[in-house]
Every structure is written in structure tokens, then in C-alpha cells.
Amino acid sequence: MAFGRGTRTPHETTTTTTTTNPTDRRSIFSPILSVNNILVWISSVIVLGLSAYEIHHFKKYYGGYPGARIVYILVIAVLTVAFFLLSFLLHPRPSHTLLFNLIFSYLWLVAVTFAARLYSSSHIASKWHALEAFTFISFFFSFFNILYNWWQWHRAAPRTAAVV
């Protein structure tokens, strides 16, 4: 009884969670995300083949090391092929999928800058322009996966409201 007040009664707060029909919210494994993952995987397989072809021919005809940039592009393509194939089979959680796409989009962004620096000349064969184009396609769809995955993840989050 401080300052003439009566005994204090604790307030009971209840938390209500608004849920919606499962058909209202799509899961994280929607057809759009699956098609984008397939496009990233296919374009990274093409980049893998073209960059391995260039490294093979460089070593065959010049007998030396082709440089770190093309090897980086090859390594990113190999990692993408392996991990995206694994992600098709394991179906990770939405938060892991967002982190996964975030990491690979930045790796592909660096690969796009390397490919643009190496193959933007008009005196380069068209297969190297194709390598540059498919690295950009891999980056673009992995970046779109980030945006779409983030949107789906926040859209599907339950909304809570405290009622006093």
C-alpha cells in the first residue's frame, strides 16, 4: 500500500496468434522458387562446362596456368551445382534457404564481374560471351531468389498481438 493505493493485482496478458488458412500463404517451396533454382542450376552447369573447357584448352595450348579469375568462376559453378542439387533433395528451412541464396548470389556477383572483365571484348569468341551471359543468369536468378524468399518468409511469419 504505497501512497494510499490498494494492493496491486497482476495484469494478465494474453497473446493471440492470428492464423490463416494454409491455402492463403504459400510455403517457401513454391513453384516460382523451384523454377528459379532449376534455372540457376542449369546455367551453373553450362558455366561449369565452358570454364572447364577454357582451362583445359589453355593448359593444352599454352602449357600454363590460366589465371585465378577463371578458376574462381569454375569453383563457384562447381559449388553451385553440388549445393543446389543437395538443396533440391534436402528441402532446407526457409531461414536457411534465405542465407544459402544470399551467399551464392554474392559469389555469383563476383563471378559476373570477373567474367565481364575477362570476356567483354569484341575480339572474343562467342562461347566466352555465352559464359559471361550464363554467369549473369545465375546471379540474376539467385538474387531474385533472395527477394522472393525474403518476401515469402516474412509473409508467412505469424503475427502476434498482445491483449491486455
The one-letter amino acid code at 54 reads: E
What is the DSSP code string of 131-159? HHHHHHHHHHHHHHHHHHHHHHHHHSSPE
The 10s digit of each residue's pLDDT in 44-65 is: 999 999 999 999 988 888 887 7
Quick one: which H or E segment has residue 8?
Answer: none
Distance between CA atoms of 112 and 3, rounded to whole angstroms?
71
The 10s digit of each residue's pLDDT in 145-161 is: 888 878 877 777 676 76
End-to-end CA distance of the chain: 23
Q: pTM for this one?
A: 0.74
pLDDT at residue 82 greater than cutoff 80: yes
Q: Nearest Cα to 51, choosing from 119, 107, 128, 109? A: 128
Q: Nearest Cα to 36, choosing from 111, 154, 150, 143? A: 143
SS3 content of the chain, % helix, strand, coil (to 5): 70, 5, 25
The 10s digit of each residue's pLDDT in 99-112 is: 888 999 999 999 99
Quick one: which H or E segment has residue 16?
Answer: strand 14-18
